[in-house]
Structure 1
Amino acid sequence: MIRILAVCVAAISLAACSGDPEFAEGGDLVTIHGAIGTVDRGATDPATEPLFRAYGIEFDSACVMPFASLADMEQHSVRVAYPAGGETRHFSGPLLRDVLEIADPQGSMLTVTALDGYQRDIEIDQILEHDVIVAIRMEGDALNIGGFGPAMVVWPRDDDDDLADIDDADWVWGVFSIEVR
């Protein structure tokens, strides 16, 4: 009887984990904080948000973007070789400038943080001038944690001559936090 119960619990868990992320209930993919005008959540909680704590990210309020919100925005596609000189891949998601517009940024610089702690400073003017996307899909499939997910900053360097020489360092994958400064 215990074995049957264990198999049932495992099956239910696997079914929940393998569902389409667009319809899965869950938390926020990307948290935008810092100098923003639109907020919809409170301060970080060190007891329940250890990733923020581990990277020294603290805020009093933020604007959060769940997968469904990002998926409901106008989607843009970028076919680009990533990493530079590598395989051409098809990424899709909303424009980063449209995502930022929801949070009403009041600064000129972003610090984008990835799940592995990698951080990159990016000028907002760069985002406004180019069709940079917050990719949530690659080749039509949701970006997964363990891959490039949950979200990735993707630059259209193959289609935008001004970005032809952009360094891969500006491509942040595993994005979960964007601070506006």
Structure 2
Amino acid sequence: MSLHPRLPRRGALALGLALAFSTLTAAAQGLPEPKGRVILTVSGQIEQTNRGKDAAFDMAMLEALPQQSFTTRTPWFDKPMKFTGPLLSDVLAAVKAKGQTIKASAINDYTISIPVADAAAHGVIVARLLNDQPMPVREKGPLFVIYPFDSKAELRSSTYYERSIWQLKRMSIE
């Protein structure tokens, strides 16, 4: 009896082995190695790594993830600004994050805890562009965790403003 109605027994076995091998190969490959300067390191409870126990991202790796944009008002700019970058949930999926909390740290060592649940619930992005331009360090870059404040009244509060960390350099998943 064949495992698949259209394949003889040997064909089904070969197909099964090929699928198992490709799954193991993909899992073993993990994240690609960054080719440029590392701008974000993710550590902690993650399953995909590329630098020891960490996942290191250069800008090209973040650009390769699906990109999202929104325009929102913030306390830091005098007019609505457009932010573009991967969803925080996509960054977490890329490293196969398993924790409940993100401890995010900035270049100046500012650190804030962000619930992992915020990523999906609010469409948070790791912005790499501000008004379609890369963000230099002196202008809150190169990465800025940003909430779409104008999408929900509840997001316009100090709780979410504090979680919007600019000059992001590291995330530890706990």
TM-score between the two structures when normalised by the length of structure 1: 0.72
More helix by share: 2
Is the CA contact 1:84–1:168 (under 8 Å) kept in the aligned structure 2? Answer: no
Which structure 2 segments of 5+ residues have no match?
A: 1-34
Q: Deviations over 1:13-49 (max 9, x none)?
A: xxxxxxxxxxxx631111100111111102xxxxxxx
- 1:133 corresponds in structure 2 to 125
Q: How far, CA to CA, are the matches of 2:109 and 2:77 in structure 1?
A: 25
111-120 or 75-84, larger mean C-alpha shift: 75-84
Is the CA contact 2:112–2:163 (under 8 Å) kept in the aligned structure 1? Answer: yes
Find the structure with the greater CA-based Rg: 2
Amino acid at match of 1:66: D
Q: How far, CA to CA, are the matches of 2:109 and 2:168 in structure 1?
A: 9
Paired residues for 1:24-63 under 5 Å:
26-42=36-52, 61-63=53-55
TM-score between the two structures when normalised by the length of structure 2: 0.75
Amino acid at match of 2:78: G
Displacement after TM superposition at 1:85 (Å) = 7.7
Q: How far, CA to CA, are the matches of 1:167 and 1:69 in structure 2?
A: 27
Displacement after TM superposition at 1:114 (Å) = 0.2
Q: What is the DSSP-based 3-state SS (H/G/I as helix, E as strand, rest coil) of the residue aligned with 1:79?
A: strand
> How many pairs align?
139
- 2:107 corresponds in structure 1 to 115
**Residue among 56, 80, 84 paired with 1:88:** 80
Percentage of matched positions with identical amino acids: 25
Displacement after TM superposition at 1:163 (Å) = 1.9
Structure 1 runs (4+) greater than 4 angstroms displaced: none
**Residue among 150, 159, 162 paired with 2:142:** 150
Q: What is the DSSP-based 3-state SS (H/G/I as helix, E as strand, rest coil) of the residue aligned with 2:36?
A: coil
The answer to whether structure 1 residue 177 and structure 2 residue 170 are counterparts is yes
Amino acid at match of 2:38: D
The answer to whether structure 1 residue 105 and structure 2 residue 125 are counterparts is no
Which structure 1 segments of 5+ residues have no match?
A: 1-24, 43-60
